[in-house]
Chain A
Amino acid sequence: MSTFLESLSAVADLAGEHAEDVDTHSRFPKEAVDALREARALSALVDGVPFEEVARGCEVLARACSATAMVFAMHQIQVSVLVQHRQEWPWVEDYLRDLSREQRLISSVTSEIGTGGDMGRSIAAVEPDGTFTKKAPTVSYGEYADDYLTTLRRTPDSEPSDQVTVLTLGSQTTATKVSDWDTLGMRGTCSPGFTITASFSMDQVLPVPFGQIMNETLVPVSHLLWAHVWMGIAGEAFERARKATRKSGASAGAVKTQRLSELHGDLVATRAQVAEALARWLNESSEPGRPALQTMSAVLRHNVLKTSVSQASARICMGALEVCGIAGYRNDSPYSVGRLLRDSLSASLMIANERLHEHNAALLMVVKET
């Protein structure tokens, strides 16, 4: 195991100790995130840790605490955008140095009230005086972020689809909480609504259109890292079902053992799908100019990864509950799958699957290699 994954495994042990408390009190997993900072994991992609290890790290953390894993994944998604575009964006070089030194945590402000959940459209705009005000229905770990990556219309006269991305420092940003975070699952991500206002210099605007960033980096990296988180949750639920079945011995019954074996098939198929998508990404993202990532067929593939794995994760957790029976339904048993099931149910909602299916159905009419 690499040094990076060894240190993440230690963070996962710590995250696991606090996971129930984080979930019960819907509180930020501070201990685990501090430990990630201590392990210098927040700057992994800046410091040269391979992407596949960061992805694997998401899965390792998710086995112990979904919220810690999702905070880690969301942060790495923002960092990957910065790292990918550092050549075209001189300002970000100094920032990346600070990020590595100070282990700064970045949140994304992409959702916006009034856009109907469509990340590809914005209402708030970059004002000519270098300010913005954006009303976001959810900002991931909004209160705990050091800095914010926000999508906005390029100018106040721009169309909703003409978007740019701005990175503002915490010292330049005011995040006013406008709602609470009391959810079914992923309770520790603490992602309520915020009104974000910021004042910044124009060189903090990423000089690449958001549409391009979305297709080439944001969507593939989000869907790959989320998929690893969801696979970790499903893997843990399966493991509890396996242990419960083993403990029952002969009394488990043929129906339950068959169900366990079916679940295993589902888990293995999901792992294979994620591994294939990761391998293809590593290959395509390292090609000069990255032509394959610009195609609609790549968008289709990254979307279907998200819809499939999000559904598989919840299905495997549900199946694990059926196998574990009452021991899985209880919150105070070692075979409890309640929290895992609740956490897994967020997967189909973050970037709603029905929106992706609608977009994919349109893409299927025009993409040739499906």
Chain B
Amino acid sequence: MNDDMEETIRTVLTDNGRLPVAVETIGVADDLYQVGMSSHASISVMLGLEDAFDVEFPDRMLTREVFASIASIKAAVGELLAS
């Protein structure tokens, strides 16, 4: 499940992140803003993740920090799917 989740997150990042590097080269803990994700692109990523996992991020989760790495996105999506 976890690997599937990571695959889906990487697909969303490929489709919405407008990243200057290939998503498969990004480590789970790498800072997505440092690899070039703009704040505008991060909003598209949030929308893409909500659609892909059929979840809604509550406002308290819609922060720069939560979408800063694949690992932090995984934790947030995991929390929503578990609840």
Contact = CB atoms under 8 A, between A and B. Distances in A.
Given A158-B34, A294-B65, A369 B39 contact: no
A297 B44 contact: no
Contacts of A215: 64
Contact of A295 (B20, B34, B60): B60
Closest CB pairs A-B (n = 4): A159-B36, A296-B62, A294-B63, A297-B59
A363 B38 contact: no
A295 B58 CA distance: 10
B4 to A, nearest CB: 23
A48 B83 CA distance: 44
Contacts of B47: 365-366
Interface in A60-100: none
A359 to B, nearest CB: 6
Contacts of A359: 39-40, 43
B39 A211 contact: yes
Contacts of A160: 36
B50 interface: yes
Contact of B37 (A161, A209, A362, A368): A161
Interface in B18-67: 20, 33-40, 43-44, 46-47, 50, 56-60, 62-65
A296 B47 CA distance: 13
19 contacts: A154-B34, A159-B20, A161-B37, A161-B38, A209-B33, A211-B39, A211-B64, A294-B63, A295-B63, A296-B63, A359-B43, A362-B40, A362-B44, A363-B43, A366-B47, A366-B50, A366-B57, A367-B62, A368-B56
A365 B46 CA distance: 10
A212 interface: yes
A156 interface: no
A338 to B, nearest CB: 38
The number of chain A residues touching the other chain, given as a range, is 20 to 34
A366 B56 CA distance: 9
Contact of B33 (A162, A291, A365, A368): A162
A164 to B, nearest CB: 11
Contact of B62 (A120, A209, A366): A366
Given A211-B39, A215-B64, A162 B59 contact: no
A212 B62 CA distance: 14
A223 interface: no
A189 B40 CA distance: 30
Contacts of B34: 154, 158-159, 162
A121 interface: yes
Contacts of A369: 59
Contacts of A211: 33, 39, 64
Contacts of A295: 59-60, 62-63
Given A121-B38, A162-B36, A212 B64 contact: yes
Interface in A337-364: 359, 362-363
